[in-house]
């Protein structure tokens, strides 16, 4: 009886520890998303964020999501420009902690499901937690950082910002993520009255499809209030895991 009670108590304690770790690292991933905004627009800027985990581990999936940008002028839709980004994931095995298959929530839970956000204070990355089984890389409840688009502007001048994440050298010597700004591309356009942005998914065969990201739309068309000058900024960020 005592051994049974001890085993039960240990199992309950383990579940509570795993739950606390999951909640804590949801906030860690939210902080990571915010750090991307500090890094993407300054070449050479480097930031390391650390986490603590008994059950989970951060991973990086390169070239998962492509955003295609088109502009409309008096001549019609112009040739598109596309950029592909990776995503950062905190993975906890479902054997340690599970929210149930098909679980999905944004972090915070009131966050918008659009990959285009307006305003200087709008987030540059979405964070969500998902449990989707099966997937090719294993059975996990994942918390994910996904770069998204911010648009700022008025009075005939608009700027669009997208960070793109690429893989660095992952040594896994510590529980940390190091991110470094590695370059900024600028694409100017003139006499624009609409901007169309489409999200597409390059690893659908591995489970990273539209249902994984759960955007409310995969194509967003922004009608500008007047014919405008538009600038697109793409900030490249190199993500390295555990190199501290």
Q: What pLDDT shows up at residue 244? A: 57
- Along the 244 residues of the chain, how does pLDDT read in single tens digits? 454 444 444 454 456 788 999 999 999 999 999 999 999 999 999 999 999 999 999 999 999 999 999 999 999 999 999 999 999 999 999 999 999 999 999 999 999 999 999 999 999 999 999 999 999 999 999 999 999 999 999 889 999 999 999 999 998 889 999 999 999 999 999 999 999 999 999 999 999 999 999 999 999 999 998 899 999 999 999 999 997 5
CB atoms within 10 A of CB 102: 10
Cα 203 to Cα 200: distance, rounded to the nearest angstrom: 10
Give the tens place of pLDDT for each residue, 16-52: 788 999 999 999 999 999 999 999 999 999 999 999 9
Q: Which domain covers residue 51, as residue numbers? A: 2-241
Return d(Cα 218, Cα 199) in angstroms, integer: 5
Long-range contacts, stretch 22-25, CB < 8 angstroms, 24+ apart = 22/56, 22/92, 22/97, 22/129, 22/141, 22/143, 24/52, 25/51, 25/53, 25/56, 25/90, 25/92, 25/143
Reference 198, options 68, 71, 65, 9; nearest CA is 68
Domain count, the chain: 1
The residue written with tokens 């095995």 in the block is 93
CA 244 to chain centroid, in Å, comes to 23
């Amino acid at each position: 009886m005592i051994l049974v009670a001890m085993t039960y108590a240990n199992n309950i304690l383990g579940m509570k520890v795993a739950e606390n770790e999951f909640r804590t690292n949801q906030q860690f991933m939210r902080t990571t998303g915010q750090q991307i905004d500090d890094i993407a627009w300054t070449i050479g800027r480097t930031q390391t964020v650390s986490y603590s985990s008994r059950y989970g581990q951060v991973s990086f999936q390169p070239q998962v999501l492509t955003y295609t940008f088109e502009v409309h002028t008096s001549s019609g839709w112009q040739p598109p420009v596309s950029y592909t980004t990776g995503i950062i994931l905190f993975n906890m095995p479902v054997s340690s902690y599970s929210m149930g298959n098909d679980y999905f929530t944004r972090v915070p839970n009131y966050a918008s499901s659009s990959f285009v956000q307006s305003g200087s204070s709008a987030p540059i990355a979405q964070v969500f937690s998902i449990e989707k089984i099966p997937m090719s890389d294993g059975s996990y409840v994942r918390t994910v950082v996904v770069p998204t688009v911010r648009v700022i502007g008025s009075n005939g001048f608009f700027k669009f910002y997208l960070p793109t994440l690429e893989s660095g050298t992952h040594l896994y010597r510590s529980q940390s993520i190091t991110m470094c700004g590695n370059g900024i591309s600028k694409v100017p356009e003139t006499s624009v009255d609409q901007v169309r942005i489409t999200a597409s998914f390059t690893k659908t065969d591995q489970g990273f499809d539209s249902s994984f990201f759960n955007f409310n739309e995969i194509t967003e068309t922004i009608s500008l209030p007047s014919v405008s000058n538009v600038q697109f900024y793409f900030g490249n960020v190199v993500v390295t895991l555990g190199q501290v």
